[in-house]
Amino acid sequence: MEGQKEGLDVDDVVSLKDTESLLGMPNPTFKIKEFSKFLTSKINPKTKWEEGVEAEVLAAGKGWRKGKVKLTMQFIPDEPESPLDDIRKSLTFNE
């Protein structure tokens, strides 16, 4: 079962298990901002994909909308976290 998708921050670290997925990255472990810089250097170094590029999007039922398109990466955990996990972590037991 697929977990809920989580957006990753620029300083989050990813370690890929499949080294064939590196797309030319020198290391399978990297920060999101390093991956973003690497991708933008391959596409067009002058384009700021991590900040957003002016664009228009046509979405079903919404028509054309102006805005920006930017590169993001998402993490999908194998097992979704329970909403009770935070409560369990905050509880302290006196033994």
**What integer is the mean pLDDT of 25-39?**
88
Is residue 4 scored above 70 in pLDDT?
A: yes
Six-digit token string for 25: 């990255």
pLDDT of residue 55: 92
Q: Is the pTM of this model over 0.75?
A: no
Q: How far apart are CA 66 and CA 52, in angstroms?
A: 12
The per-type count for the chain, helices as H runs and strands as E runs, is 2, 6
Asked whether the CA dihedral 35, 21, 75, 47 is positive or negative, the reply is positive
Q: How far apart are CA 6 and CA 37, in angstroms?
A: 21
CA 41 to chain centre: 18
